[in-house]
Homo-oligomer: A and B are copies of this chain.
Amino acid sequence: MATLKDIAEKAGVSMMTVSRALNGEQNKVSNETAEKIRLLAEELGYIPNSSARSLAARSSRIIAVILRDTDTGNPLTDPYNAFFLGRVIQLLQREGYYIMIHFVRDFSEITFGLRSWNAEGAVFLGLFDDEIRQIRQNNRIPLIFTDSYSNVRQISNVGIDDYKGGCLAARFFLSHGHTRLAFCAPLSGKSGVITERLRGFSDTLKENGITLSREQICNISLSSAREILVGLKRSPAPPTGLFASSDHIAWQLYKAAGELSLSIPEDLSVIGFDDLPLGQTLVPGLTTIRQDIDLKAERTCEILLRRLSQSKGTSETQILDVELIPRASVKDLR
């Protein structure tokens, strides 16, 4: 392993000159010696030691991506996380950063992971709202959250218009003649994302004189999709349309419907959220609220890079638009 020192000796100059030449500090080394040094480095297969650089310069070029670990499977089992993470890695790597991944269960692990390697920034995937204040306080580097509804000011956040997504779903149902509706989501985690989707949905219904009762807001982390469908169908006025908080949950509803010999959209219409490839494989094709995951990843990286280059970066928030993708899972009742 060649070091700066080795090169310096062979070149007959000091380590500092080598360091400057290799780090491309223009006009600080004569072109002549710079060229000689670069050739020598190439020849010796010199690879800078990032640990040493990190230690001396306090600049690691490491970005941490932090995902909340899950109990079932792993976080990358969720296609949303996988797509987003993959794109973030591509973009940051292109800018010369190294990516370290941390799956965390407890927020104390976050500070450890970031400090231990002197990370220069971090991207968060998953629900951290309750801990954001603490995380921010412990780590004075650019932190970019995604889908956060924390009320902490001064955080950078990239999200989508979840409320509008809920509105779009409601309007689509209404415009197709549906008036008896229900919402289905994992409600146990007090996620802002889900709260807003529901709020947009129920507000729009309310504007049209329809109130969502408690029985029409189904918690799929408590009951299975099958139990939910059975319960809804048994009710006095069973819903004709179901708004699922994600495509993945819509899929579970499809499966349960199949088991119960309910036909979609004949017996039950469904709208999902995300527009994952999954929605196109389902039969009938899933009508869903689309979010642009690649764009979200790009915006996240842009903000991060900007805050990394300006030492006194101010926080920034971006909320991306959503749109409804009509396919075949909603029946026209008119």
By a beta-carbon cutoff of 8 Å, the part of chain A in contact with chain B is 1, 47-52, 54-55, 60, 69, 73-77, 79, 81-83, 85-87, 89-90, 93, 98-103, 111-113, 115-118, 251, 254-255, 278, 280-283
Q: DSSP class of A's interface residues: helix, strand, loop or mixed?
A: helix
Bound Cα distance A82, B76 (Å): 5
Whether A47 contacts B116 by the Cβ 8 Å rule is: yes
User: How many copies, total?
Assistant: 2
**Residues of B contacting A60 with CB < 8 Å?**
51
Looking at the assembled complex, report how far the CB atom of A84 sits from the nearest CB atom of chain B, in whole angstroms.
9
Whether A101 contacts B99 by the Cβ 8 Å rule is: yes
Whether B86 contacts A118 by the Cβ 8 Å rule is: no
Whether A115 contacts B74 by the Cβ 8 Å rule is: no
Whether B86 contacts A76 by the Cβ 8 Å rule is: yes
**Residues of B contacting A118 with CB < 8 Å?**
49-51
- Asked if A90 meets B69 with Cβ closer than 8 Å, knowing A74-B83, A82-B79, A99-B101, the reply is yes
Bound Cα distance A255, B283 (Å): 11
- Asked if A51 meets B48 with Cβ closer than 8 Å, knowing A79-B82, A82-B82, the reply is no
